[in-house]
Amino acid sequence: MTFVTDRPLSTSVGVSHPLEPLTPDEISAAVAIARAQPSLGDRVRFATVTLKEPPKATVLSFQPGDTIEREAFIILLDNATAKTYEAVVSLSTGEVKSWVHIPGVQPPIMLDEFVECEAAVKASPEFLAAIAKRGITNPDLVMVDPWSAGHYGIADEEGTRLSRALCWVRSSPTDHGYARPIEGVIPVVDLNKMEVIRVEDYGVVPLPPKDGNYTPEYVKNYRTDIKPLEIVQPEGPSFEVKDHEIRWQKWKIRVGFTPREGLVLYDVTYQDGEHERPIFYRASLAEMTVPYGDPAPHHYRKNAFDVGEYGIGSLANSLKLGCDCLGEIYYFDGFITNSKGEVVQIENAICLHEEDFGILWKHVDWRTEQAEVRRSRRLVVSFIATVGNYEYGFYWYFYQDGTIQYEVKLTGVVSTAAVMPGEIPKYGTLIAPQLNAPIHQHIFNVRMDMQVDGGNNSVYEVDIVPEVDEHNPYGNAFYAKSTLLPTEQTAQRLIDPMQGRYWKIVNSSKTNAMGYPTAYKLMPGENTASMARPDASVSQRASYMSKHLWVTPYHEDENYPAGDYPNQHPGGEGLTQWTQRDRPVADTDIVVWYTFAHSHSPRAEDWPIMPVATIGFMLKPLNFFDENPANDVPPSPAKNACCH
Distances (CA, A) of 523 to 23, 497, 630: 37, 10, 20
Q: Which long-range contacts (CB under 8 A, 24 or more apart) does 99-107 make?
A: 99/37, 99/39, 102/565, 104/159, 105/564, 105/565, 105/567, 105/569, 106/161, 106/565, 106/567, 106/568, 106/569, 107/45, 107/47, 107/48, 107/75, 107/77, 107/565, 107/567
d(CA 485, CA 553): 12
393: nearest Cα among 379, 380, 378: 380
8 A C-beta contact, residue 548 and residue 524: yes
Paired sense of beta strands 517-524 and 610-622, if any? antiparallel
**153 contacts: CB under 8 Å, gap ≥ 6:** 570
8 A C-beta contact, residue 146 and residue 165: yes
Q: Which long-range contacts (CB under 8 A, 24 or more apart) does 201-205 make?
A: 201/130, 202/296, 202/297, 202/298, 204/133, 204/134, 205/418, 205/419, 205/420
Q: How far apart are the first and last CA of the chain?
A: 47
Host H or E run for residue 520:
strand 517-524
Distances (CA, A) of 378 to 145, 262, 306, 569: 37, 21, 28, 41
Measure CA 67 to chain center.
32
Host H or E run for residue 129:
helix 125-132
DSSP code of 468?
P
In one letter, which amino acid is 449? D
Buried b vs exposed e over 235-262: b needs ≥16 C-beta within 10 Å?
Answer: eebebeeeebbbebbbbbbbbbbbbbbb
d(CA 552, CA 445): 14
Q: Which of 390, 502, 560, 594 is catalytic?
A: 390
8 A C-beta contact, residue 148 and residue 568: yes
* Backbone φ and ψ of 185, nearest 5°: -110, 115
Among this protein's residues, is 587 annotated catalytic?
no
Q: Which of 25, 267, 306, 606 is catalytic?
A: 306
Among this protein's residues, is 266 annotated catalytic?
no
Could you give the strand order of the β-sheet that contains 71-78, starting from the edge strand earlier in sequence?
A: 44-51, 71-78, 83-90, 95-101
Instruction: Please list the residues that pair with 317 across neighbouring strands.
Output: none
In one letter, which amino acid is 43? R
DSSP code of 216?
T
Q: Helix H segments across 383-507?
A: none
Instruction: Please list the residues that pair with 287 across neighbouring strands.
Output: 445
Could you give the strand order of the β-sheet that contains 195-201, starting from the edge strand earlier in sequence?
A: 142-148, 162-169, 185-190, 195-201
Residues designated catalytic: 306, 390
